[in-house]
């Protein structure tokens, strides 16, 4: 049988150094309040991945160290953890955790460094701790479903529901992301459409800006241009002293000279060409001046047009060509079919199919829970009767919650759903005949809560694959005869589990296969905790102390012996 064999604690709370060897079966742990019993359990919890508190490091120490050794049988779940993390086991697991004053901690499994979170997996498979706060957890309705599912023989169906839910949930999430992408794209398209319409409204053309700038320059300088052109025409051609008229005189004189000496024919020809050139220049200048439209409205229109073009260039490009390139680009984007709507439609069809599969499996699971709930109720009532809650009635209430947005669809109705199915479960009880069933939260007695918890653990014992059970003060709120009955129920559990039980009741302590006593001693003005394994006579004295207090009487000893001999 898998069992805890050793626990070593150093510099933790009031424990300076402590090593405990554990035996199989039912181990009882006793000691005065404040001696350090719960500190030992807290230290063990740290090796199981619980959150560390550096205030628990012993005063004056730089670090605290906790180690535990567990002998393993063929526990496939733990072996799977070893295989996944490439850790050698050889039917043994050694967990070590070290806390530092800096606030960080380190962990090792079989000598191999691991993350703190990695401690939880083997811990969950191997050790189940039940303390007073766990009894209180029983009062929280969210915790009721796992108890029923641990009892029911439908693990395969639970896994199928979980897998179906993951598939459905992933598809719903995929659809959500596609819709967000579609909305983002639509927002972009709305912006692109606005920009395209803005550019289209202005209607720019390539080369238009430079052409208009040139025309505007002409119109703004029309008067100056007219004066310069007119002056040049007069100077070149029209005035009496123009170049043209002076050139005529020069040609006549050169012609006379050429008649005397015919060496100037080529020059006469060139001067004639210049004469025609002056005529052409004068004609062009006249036409240029006459063609200038000095209409002020035209200049205003050009200025307004240039302003609109420059506004587009400021927003969409450094020049008009870039604006037009951007217009063409967003036009292409607007016309492109991204196919997202089609993808959404495909996912919606897959969601509908996955929803049907999940709903079918969830309904099967709900029916299985209803079936097992009845036997769970009957068995629990029998155990409660043995534990002294006579005539108790227990009910597993199973409900499904309709919701417009629920993902489970059954008989055309939507129900809230998750990876655990569609059921919302809570435990109801009546601890006295004739009283109505009430939620467990209405139970005031701590003794009743602890016995209900023990009853649940009792009927789960054969189904529960966690081999090591720790009960921290299972006897809360009970005494006497009921305490003995509770102890007998715990003893029965020890047939299939290793049990560690912290108790203040002699009736429970007398049933232990092994008995450890925790003592707080003072040395050099500092408290520290020690633990001792008791022999037969020491067991008598310890149980007598639990019965009668610090002063051990013969009567208390006799009762202790009787409890041990029963």
Does residue 132 have a pLDDT over 90? no
Residue 117 has pLDDT above 70, yes or no: yes
- Residue 478 scores a pLDDT above 80: no
pLDDT score of 134 more than 80? no
Q: In 10 A of CB 323, how many CB atoms?
A: 23
Q: Say yes or no to pLDDT of 345 above 70.
A: yes
Q: How many other β-carbons are positioned within 10 Å of the β-carbon of residue 549?
A: 10
Question: Hunting for tokens 């409204």 — which residue is that?
Answer: 201
Q: How far is CA 151 from CA 274, 295, 375, in A?
A: 119, 99, 10
The owner of tokens 């959404």 is 344
- Asked whether the predicted pLDDT for residue 465 surpasses 80, the reply is no
312 confidence band (pLDDT: 50, 70, 90): very high
3-state secondary structure 213-243: HHHHHHHHCHHHHHHHHHHHHHHHHHCCCCH
User: Residue 297 contacts by C-beta under 8 Å, 6 or more apart in sequence?
Assistant: none
pLDDT (mean) for 544-555: 80
Per-position DSSP letters for 338-356, written without gaps between them: --HHHHHHHHHHHHHHHHH
pLDDT band at 153 (very low <50, low <70, confident <90, very high): confident
How large is the average pLDDT for residues 179-190? Answer: 89
Instruction: Please name every residue paired with 520 in a beta bridge, in sequence order, or none if there are none.
Output: 529
- For residue 261, the model assigns a pLDDT of 78
Q: Which residue has the higher pLDDT, 202 or 298?
A: 202
Of the segments 5-9, 72-76, 489-493, 544-548, which one has the largest average pLDDT value? 5-9
Poorest-confidence range of 113-127, 219-233, 298-312, 448-462?
219-233
CB of 388 within 8 A of CB of 485?
A: yes
Mean pLDDT is lowest, of 33-42, 234-243, 268-277, for 234-243
pLDDT at site 464: 65
More confident residue, 300 or 448: 300
Contact between residue 344 and residue 157 where contact means Cβ atoms under 8 Å apart: no
| Residue 438, pLDDT above cutoff 70 | yes
Q: What is the pLDDT of residues 512-539, one digit of tens each?
A: 999 999 998 888 778 888 899 999 999 9
| 360 has pLDDT over 90 | yes
| Lowest mean pLDDT across 119-133, 336-350, 390-404, 416-430 | 119-133
Strands (E), 131-188: none
Q: What's the confidence (pLDDT) of residue 364?
A: 96
Q: Label residue 136 by pLDDT band (50, 70, 90).
A: low
The DSSP letter of residue 117 is: G
Q: Picking from 116-130, 346-360, 387-401, which range would have the lowest pLDDT averaged per residue?
A: 116-130
Q: Give CA separation, 123 vs 71, 76, 136, 142, 262, in Å.
A: 13, 14, 21, 22, 128
pLDDT of 471 above 70: yes
Work out the pLDDT band at 9, boundaries 50, 70, 90: very high
- Asked if pLDDT for residue 76 goes beyond 60, the answer is no
> Phi then psi for 89, rounded to 5 degrees?
-125, -55
Query: Residue 363: its pLDDT value, please?
Result: 96
Residue 241: is its pLDDT beyond 80? no
Total length of the chain = 566
Q: CA–CA separation, 303 vs 274, rounded Å?
A: 41
Burial of 140 (0-12, 13-18, 19+ CB in 10 A): exposed
pLDDT, tens digit, 9 for 90 and up, residues 77-103: 677 777 777 777 777 889 999 999 988
Q: Is the pLDDT of residue 309 over 70?
A: yes
> How does DSSP assign 359-422, residue by residue?
HHHHHHHHHHHHHHHHHHHHHHHHHHHHTT-TT-EEEEEEEE-B-TT-SEEETTEEE--BTTBS
Task: Give me 473's structure tokens.
Answer: 């003060």
Phi, psi of 391 (to 5 degrees): 70, 15
89 vs 228, higher pLDDT? 228
Average pLDDT, stretch 473-495?
A: 82
Sheet holding 438-439, edge to edge: 393-400, 423-430, 438-439
- Asked whether the beta carbons of 7 and 519 are under 8 A apart, the reply is no
pLDDT at 466 exceeding the cut of 90:
no
The proportion of the chain whose per-residue pLDDT surpasses 70, expressed as a percent, equals 95
């Amino acid at each position: 049988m898998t069992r805890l064999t050793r626990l070593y604690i150093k510099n933790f709370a009031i424990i300076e150094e402590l090593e405990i060897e554990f035996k199989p079966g039912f181990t009882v742990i006793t000691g005065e309040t404040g001696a350090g019993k719960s500190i030992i359990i807290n230290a063990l919890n740290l090796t199981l991945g619980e959150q560390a508190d550096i205030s628990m490091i012993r005063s004056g120490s730089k670090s605290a160290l906790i180690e535990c050794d567990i002998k393993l049988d063929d526990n496939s779940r733990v072996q799977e953890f070893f295989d996944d993390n490439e850790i050698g086991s050889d039917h043994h697991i050694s967990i070590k955790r070290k806390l530092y004053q800096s606030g960080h901690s380190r962990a090792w499994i079989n000598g191999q460094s691991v993350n703190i979170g990695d401690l939880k997996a083997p811990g969950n498979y191997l050790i189940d701790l039940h303390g007073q706060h766990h009894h209180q957890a029983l009062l929280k309705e969210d915790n009721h479903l796992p108890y029923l599912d641990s009892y029911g023989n439908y693990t395969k169906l639970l896994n199928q529901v979980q897998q179906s839910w993951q598939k459905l949930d992933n598809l719903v999430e995929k659809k959500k992301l596609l819709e967000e992408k579609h909305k983002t794209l639509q927002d972009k398209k709305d912006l692109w459409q606005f920009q395209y319409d803005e550019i289209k409204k202005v209607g720019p053309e390539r080369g238009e800006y430079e052409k208009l700038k040139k025309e505007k320059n002409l119109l703004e300088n029309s008067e100056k241009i007219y004066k310069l052109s007119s002056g040049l025409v007069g100077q070149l051609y029209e005035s009496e002293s123009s170049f043209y008229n002076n050139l005529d005189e020069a040609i006549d004189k050169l012609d006379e000279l050429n008649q005397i000496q015919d060496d100037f024919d080529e020059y006469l020809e060139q001067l004639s060409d210049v004469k025609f050139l002056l005529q052409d220049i004068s004609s062009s200048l006249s036409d240029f001046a006459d063609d200038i439209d000095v209409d002020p409205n035209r200049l205003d229109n050009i200025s307004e047009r240039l302003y609109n073009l420059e506004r587009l260039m400021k927003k969409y490009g450094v020049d008009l060509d870039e604006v037009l390139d951007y217009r063409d680009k967003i036009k292409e984007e607007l016309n492109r079919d991204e196919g997202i709507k089609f993808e959404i439609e495909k996912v919606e069809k897959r969601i509908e199919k996955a929803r049907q599969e999940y709903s079918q499996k969830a309904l099967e699971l709900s029916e299985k829970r209803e079936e097992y709930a009845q036997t769970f109720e009957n068995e629990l009532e029998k155990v409660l009767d043995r534990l002294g809650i006579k005539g108790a009635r227990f009910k597993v209430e199973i409900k499904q919650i309709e919701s417009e947005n629920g993902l489970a669809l059954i008989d055309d109705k939507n129900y809230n759903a998750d990876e655990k199915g569609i059921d919302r479960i809570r435990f109801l009880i009546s601890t006295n005949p004739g009283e109505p069933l009430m939620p467990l939260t209405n139970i005031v007695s701590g003794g009743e809560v602890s016995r209900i918890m023990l009853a649940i653990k009792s009927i789960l014992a054969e189904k529960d694959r966690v081999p090591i059970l720790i009960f921290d003060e299972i006897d809360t709120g009970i005494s006497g005869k009921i305490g003995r009955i509770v102890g007998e129920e715990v003893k029965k559990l020890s047939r299939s589990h290793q049990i560690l039980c912290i108790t203040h009741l002699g009736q429970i302590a007398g049933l232990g296969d092994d008995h450890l006593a925790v003592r707080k001693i003072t040395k050099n003005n500092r408290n520290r905790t020690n633990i001792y394994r008791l022999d037969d006579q020491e067991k008598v004295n310890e149980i007598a102390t639990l019965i009668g207090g610090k002063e051990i009487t013969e009567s208390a000893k006799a009762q202790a012996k009787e409890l041990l001999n029963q």
